[in-house]
Amino acid sequence: MDMADWSSALASIQPLTDWSALPLDMPALFALAAGLGWAAGLRLYALVFVLGVLGRFGVLTLPAGLHVLAHPVVIGAAGLMLIMEFFADKLPWLDSVWDAVHTFIRIPAGAALAAALLGADGGVTSLALGLLGAATAAGTHFAKAGTRALLNTSPEPVSNVAASFSEDAIFAFGFWALIQHPLWFLGGLVVFLALGGFVIWLAWRLIRRLFKSPFASN
């Protein structure tokens, strides 16, 4: 598929409300994989809970590889973790500890969810989708963690609460855009990851400064 074909395919992506019809055309499929990775990096438990509930009640038709998300046990576990994250994410420093632990959860989960779009029969395409899901989950996760690290340099907790609610709103809007307007979502994802890269750079500079300052004073 050359660039003209990809441009035409991107422009024709329709709302992604019936995932049982996968595989879709490649641009739509990769948009969906990138979206799942992004959402997993930002709000993993909210993503699993929402997908499970929507699949359980038939609002969203999930592919075979994601049917397990609609199981009541999975929905309940995701809901419990979502409640825990809702509070942990709003407390200064605890949010950064939570993010550090979830470095080893969100990124593999983003890869697994994206790869599961085609199930075990996807072959090389499933591997590519998994890598894309992992990459977008990692970029989103580190941008989120970096933002929290910067905010935690401030002594007041209001900024953490505001950041957490902002992330909730971004997740809700982003998930809606992914389902209803995938092309808009892809454009927003590019902007989000670009800003995230800048935040990661700022956080890295802060970490280097914190580690250097004790030695510099001596």
pLDDT at residue 22, as a whole number = 56
pLDDT at residue 142, as a whole number = 92
CA distance 102 to 83: 15
Q: Residue ranges of the chain with pLDDT lower than 70?
A: 1-25, 120, 155-157, 210-218
- Domain locations along the chain: 18-217
pLDDT at residue 10, as a whole number = 46
Residues 149, 207: contact at Cβ < 8 Å?
yes
Residues 153, 205: contact at Cβ < 8 Å?
no
pLDDT at residue 4, as a whole number = 54
Residue with tokens 């999930």: 62
pLDDT at residue 6, as a whole number = 47
pLDDT at residue 2, as a whole number = 53
